[in-house]
Structure 1
């Protein structure tokens, strides 16, 4: 993360979710007390037609782990909350839902884990996030390049455990 806007925007995302963890999620039975908020592996996204410049990575929180696509320039479009759009990450495509927080604006999320009790430590959760990103960012083999060769949307758990197919 060397781009100043990327550093700023992802820092703001992490600060906001730390505030959420310490505020509205404090003491929640849905939160795993062994975990904390961390933005993992955010990098600039390849340019996409009709989409603003953005970064993608994983947001680990005590209550969920999400793929996040964060625009580099603040967007305020609360009407996108809950609306789904398919976005590419590496050679895979996932359905992301629009989200909006007043402190950072509009961004997109795709849940990997809805509850985090499978993780006994923060280090294990971060290692899982890093493994997901490493798999997503594997280079596309020369033979498979091209938009017609993108697979159907994989099931998130199937993707994580190396199985292909739709849910």
Structure 2
């Protein structure tokens, strides 16, 4: 878990330095590691899977075990998680190699940290399901739906109001979690 804490610290530092003043920052968000857990990848290799939230992105991260060979930064590969084929790009920050799959960038859809964390946890719950469950359409992926409502981009001197909820449960068949997370229309989520 020290690697994860190091990444969070590195991205906090990036937010204060390299990203300071960049208009894509959602000032209501901060760097946070969400639910990193041991996971075997599609080839059986062990590592940690979780989500990193920052004021400018929400990425699914794969951290291979320290003794496992790491991909060269800048290279990409497909990983199958929860029945989804996702493209990850290898990167390195603060001496830690990892692979990242962008879920949201920028992150103006989220009014506050709690809303971003809720979507991150829902995404991880879906991706950690056994492949067999996902292929047959899990109740969470098909029936439940969560929408991230766009929040107007804040001005550099203005904070996003935490009083607006960015995530809400929707009982209509508009957009499933799978559709939200993987860019599919409602008709495509039942496959």
Runs of 5+ unmatched residues, structure 1: 1-6, 146-153
Aligned equivalent of 1:148: none
1:47 Cα deviation (Å)?
A: 5.3
* 1:56 is the counterpart of 2:49: yes
1:35 Cα deviation (Å)?
A: 0.5
CA contact (8 A) 2:41 2:81 kept: no
Q: 1:107 to 1:92 in 2, by over 3 A?
A: same
CA distance in structure 2 between the aligned counterparts of 1:10 and 1:76, rounded to whole angstroms: 18
1:8 Cα deviation (Å)?
A: 1.3
Aligned equivalent of 1:87: 79
CA distance in structure 2 between the aligned counterparts of 1:113 and 1:17, rounded to whole angstroms: 16
Q: 1:162 to 1:21 in 2, by over 3 A?
A: farther
1:9 Cα deviation (Å)?
A: 1.6
In our comparison, the structure showing a higher alpha carbon Rg is 2
Aligned equivalent of 1:132: 123
Q: 1:59 to 1:84 in 2, by over 3 A?
A: same
Local SS of the residue matching 1:16: helix
* 1:14 is the counterpart of 2:23: no
Runs of 5+ unmatched residues, structure 2: 137-178
Normalised by the size of structure 1, how large is the TM-score? 0.74
CA contact (8 A) 1:63 1:114 kept: yes
Normalised by the size of structure 2, how large is the TM-score? 0.66
* 1:44 is the counterpart of 2:38: yes
CA distance in structure 2 between the aligned counterparts of 1:33 and 1:110, rounded to whole angstroms: 22
Runs of 4+ in 1 over 4 A off after TM superposition: 74-77
CA contact (8 A) 2:32 2:52 kept: yes
CA distance in structure 2 between the aligned counterparts of 1:58 and 1:26, rounded to whole angstroms: 22
